[in-house]
Amino acid sequence: MNNIILIGFMGTGKTTIGKILHKKLQIPFIDMDSKIIEYTGKPINKIFEDEGELYFRKLERELTKQLIQQNNQIISTGGGIVLNQDNINDFMESGLVICLCASIETIIKRLKNDESRPLLLGNKIKKIEDLLNDREHLYGKIPIKIETDNISPQEIASIIIKHYEQIKR
Ligand code: S3P
């Protein structure tokens, strides 16, 4: 299978890189959060508020199962996709899985003005620290990781394309 799946904490650039890859490779780009917003007709904040996080995780799981039926697409996941190992196992079988990483300082800087992420409402810095701590071992399991701190999105996309060309051979 030839999909490219982008995983990583909020603010690591999954959507940005996904869009660049889409332009460069001319294959479809699917942003999972956008698909869920489209399906429910609600922003992510509102889904969490009305139905709760568990419901959102179920939607993520269902969408993962649908997406792995297709080939040759770039998929940008939500930061919490790693919370269910089944999602990761499915994606690993469906193509090239890349984990984008960033230092906590960079993540805080990138998300400073963001109000759209329900898990960061309130004391944002503390929430980022706690979530990163909780999830570090889950992102750590993804074999291919790319540090995004001091490198441009274009360069990151080029690195991913090199990996992609290898698996397509
Ligand atoms: C989440 C990350 C968000 C979104 C939701 C939950 C998480 O996606 O799916 O707010 O649990 O880390 P991004 O990583 O695209 O911000």
Ligand 1: nearest atom to the Cα of 80: 11
Alpha helices (H) in 52-103, listed in sequence order: 53-67, 85-94
- For the cut 90, the answer to whether the pLDDT of residue 78 exceeds it is yes
Q: Can you give the pLDDT at residue 167? A: 82
Ligand 1 atom at minimal distance to the Cα of residue 12? 14
Q: Is the pLDDT of residue 113 over 90?
A: yes
Which of 58, 87, 117 maximizes ligand 1 atoms within 8 Å of its Cβ, making it the mutation to test the pocket?
117
pTM for this model (two decimals): 0.97
Ligand 1 pocket, residue 33 CB under 6 Å? yes
Instruction: State the average pLDDT for the chain.
Output: 97
Tell me what pLDDT residue 169 has: 66
Task: Tell whether ligand 1 has an atom less than 6 A from the beta carbon of residue 80.
Answer: yes
Asked if residue 71 has pLDDT above 70, the reply is yes
Quickly state the pLDDT bin for 168 (edges 50, 70, 90).
confident
Among 14, 33, 133, 135, the mutation site with the greatest number of ligand 1 atoms within 8 A of its Cβ is: 33
Residue 37 pLDDT: 98
Average pLDDT over residues 20-43: 98
Q: What is the mean pLDDT of residues 75-93?
A: 98
In what helix (H) or strand (E) does residue 95 lie, and over which residues does it extend? strand 95-101
Q: Give residue 46's Cα distance to chain centre.
A: 20
Of ligand 1's listed atoms, the one at least distance from the Cα of 32 is 9
125 neighbors 79 (Cβ within 8 angstroms): no
Residue 5 has φ and ψ, to the nearest 5°, of -115, 125
- Average pLDDT on 72-89 reads 98
pLDDT digits (tens, 9 = 90+) for 91-103: 999 999 999 999 9
Closest CA to 33 of 118, 93, 106: 118
Residue 169 Cα, ligand 1 centroid: separation in angstroms?
A: 33
